[in-house]
């Protein structure tokens, strides 16, 4: 009776990564086991997409670091992938990434009702706005804003049929701030 010898296992082929910044990112992601999601074939594809999106990201009413931090782009392994990849693929955006990671960045606000709070996470899933002075600039038509107390009473408001610049100071004692058709409110320094 002859002994059955199992066939040798084929050698496990290590993926090859090109000697490019993209290859470096993909190799590191493979070594660390980082995953971004099924939309991208490789970690470097995700980083490249973010690099292309950052120049226009502020158009949606958020500062660039705010967009990066608050839009899910840094969830899970994505943060580590961006920290490894942005300095290699688009180093000019490294300061934006640093601000997003630190949580210290300007928050911009557009249409909506915001609970006034120093805590950006707020409470109960509501969008928040910290106290401070904000300015909206641009051609505004039929802009309405209001500051209300915690009980909903109007403290101050204005309806501008036509304006180029509006400045509002939101106090820590305010309950909510509401804005309609005023564009983007940015903190005044």
pLDDT tens, the chain, 189 aa long:
667 777 777 766 667 899 999 999 999 999 999 998 888 999 999 999 999 998 887 766 788 999 898 888 889 999 999 999 999 999 999 999 999 999 888 888 989 999 999 876 555 556 889 999 999 999 999 999 999 999 999 999 999 999 999 999 999 999 999 999 999 999 997
Sorted by sequence, the CB contacts under 8 Å of residue 90 that are 6+ apart come out as: 47, 50, 51, 54
Q: Could you tell me if 25 and 97 lie in one domain?
A: yes
Q: Could you tell me if 92 and 138 lie in one domain?
A: no
Q: Could you tell me if 91 and 119 lie in one domain?
A: no
**Does residue 10 lie in a domain region?**
no
For helices 78-89 and 21-32, what crossing angle results, to 10°?
160
Q: How many whole angstroms separate alpha carbon 144 and alpha carbon 181?
A: 7
pLDDT at 61 (0 to 100): 75
Q: Could you tell me if 87 and 139 lie in one domain?
A: no
**Does residue 5 lie in a domain region?**
no
Range of the domain at 40: 21-102
Q: How far is CA 116 from CA 113, 140, 175, in A?
A: 10, 24, 5
- The pLDDT tens digits for 134-178 are 999 999 999 999 999 999 999 999 999 999 999 999 999 999 999
Closest CA to 102 of 85, 88, 115, 120: 120
**Does residue 13 lie in a domain region?**
no
Q: Could you tell me if 78 and 31 lie in one domain?
A: yes
pLDDT at 73 (0 to 100): 87
Last residue of a domain, one of 81, 102, 123: 102
Rounded to two decimals, the pTM is 0.73
pLDDT at 166 (0 to 100): 96
Closest CA to 144 of 173, 168, 172: 168
Confirm if 17 and 24 have CB atoms less than 8 A apart: yes
**Does residue 77 lie in a domain region?**
yes
User: How many domains does the chain contain in total?
Assistant: 2
């Amino acid at each position: 009776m002859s002994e059955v010898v199992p066939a040798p296992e084929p050698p496990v082929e290590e993926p090859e990564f090109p000697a490019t910044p993209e290859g470096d990112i993909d190799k590191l992601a493979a070594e660390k086991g980082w995953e971004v999601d099924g939309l991208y074939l490789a970690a470097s594809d995700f980083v490249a997409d973010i690099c292309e999106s950052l120049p226009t990201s502020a158009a949606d009413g958020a500062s660039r670091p705010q967009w990066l931090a608050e839009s899910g782009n840094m969830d899970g392994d994505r943060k580590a992938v961006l920290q490894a990849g942005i300095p290699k693929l688009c180093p000019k955006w490294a300061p934006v990434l640093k601000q997003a990671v630190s949580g210290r960045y300007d928050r911009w606000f557009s249409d909506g009702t915001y609970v006034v709070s120093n805590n950006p996470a707020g409470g109960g899933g509501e969008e928040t706005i910290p106290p401070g002075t904000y300015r909206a600039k641009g051609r505004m038509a039929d802009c309405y804003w209001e500051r209300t107390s915690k009980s909903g009473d109007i403290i101050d408001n204005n309806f501008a049929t036509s304006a180029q610049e509006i400045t509002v100071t939101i106090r820590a004692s305010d309950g909510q701030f509401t804005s309609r058709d005023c564009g983007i409110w940015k903190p005044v320094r």
